[in-house]
Amino acid sequence: MTPLRFTGYERSAEVPNVVVDGSPNAGTVLVLSHWPGMPTPPGVEADSSCQMVFRYLDRGADLHDGARVVTNNHFDQDGLAGIYPLIDPDDGVRRRRQLEGLASAGDFGVAPDRTSARISMAVSALADPDTSPLVLPDDYDERCVVLYEHALDVLPSWLDDPERCRALWAEEDAELDAAAAAFAAGQVQIEEHPDVDLAVVTLAEGGRSAGHRFAGRRFDGIHPMALHAATERSVVLVVDPAEGRHHLTCRYEGWVQFRSRPIRPRVDLAPLAGRLTAEEPAGAVWSSTPPSDLTPELATVADGPGSSLGPERVIGEVTRYLAEAPPAWDPYDLQA
């Protein structure tokens, strides 16, 4: 395959282009994206957009006639790992396992090895204005251009030797070690409810940690990679009895067209937030994000009091609601 070159999303609309891990623009002739509602070429279906790119190369890269550029409307690990084999097919194919691991670590918080975890951490830190060594423009499209051009250039050396980007991953890597130690010490306990695809994660004192999601997004409570190594359940309720800060999250697998295993459809968490708020004896307020969010969440509002409901009460309300609520999100609906 003739290598493509990366071009920013807005500029690429003026020419025939391939979009990886995003949505099409006016110039797009081929989309290789697991995003909801995106059409998928036959035989290319996969969990991550990066995997889709490799399956497209496997089938002969025969559907992007006239396109000489590749682009994406956002910067993250899956986009980076998927674009790289289209700009350097020979090296990309040689690094297939590494790139697919990076995409999985970034999108799903599932790292097949520590190198994938660390490079994902580095990519996230690179995109965060508070930690990035780059001067990041305020305009998001321009920011993505700066990030992709730099990351595509340094990615091979990072994959060869993660020590080259240690400054970007070392702090979060220690959080992942702390999470693993908390699991080993029994400071994190998991109880699964398979009938509603729920994992209840109870934190003891000293069991808290944090980690990134995607590029520059933070998840508190327990590091996602440690958590997702311990359970495949698509809905996770983190119960913190000492703080009363219970936090439910729907994993990203339910937002995309995930292929390797069935994912229980998401529900709208807003009625559950209202139900829990109505039962709070001390005025705590629960809020939720919509099912269209990348990772819908339910928790007490951060600037108010924590929940006064006991953990068993919260768990009972959550499991009952998940069992009765109708589906509210269908990523496979191409008409959406």
What is the pTM (predicted TM-score) of this model?
A: 0.96
User: Could you read off the pLDDT of 159-208 as tens digits, one per residue?
Assistant: 999 999 999 999 999 999 999 999 999 999 999 999 999 999 999 877 88
Q: Give the rounded percent of residues in the chain with a pLDDT score beyond 70.
A: 99
Of 241, 226, 224, 233, which is closest to residue 191 (Cα–Cα)?
Answer: 233
Confidence of residue 244 (pLDDT cuts 50, 70, 90): confident
Q: List pLDDT tens digits, range 138-158.
A: 999 999 999 999 999 999 999
Residue 335: band (very low, low, confident or very high) from pLDDT cuts 50, 70, 90: low
Q: Rounded mean pLDDT of the chain?
A: 96
* Residue pLDDT, tens place only, 71-121: 999 999 999 999 999 999 999 999 999 999 999 999 999 999 999 999 999
Task: Provide long-range contacts, Cβ within 8 A and 24+ apart, for 227-231.
Answer: 227/109, 227/179, 227/201, 228/108, 228/109, 228/110, 229/110, 229/111, 230/183, 230/190, 231/190, 231/192, 231/199, 231/201
pLDDT at 231 over 70: yes
Reply yes or no on whether the pLDDT at 336 is more than 60: no
Contact 199, 190 (CB under 8 A): yes
Q: Output the six-digit token pair for 3.
A: 């290598």
C-alpha span between 125 and 24 (Å, rounded): 27
- Which pLDDT does position 36 carry in this prediction? 97
pLDDT value of position 136: 97
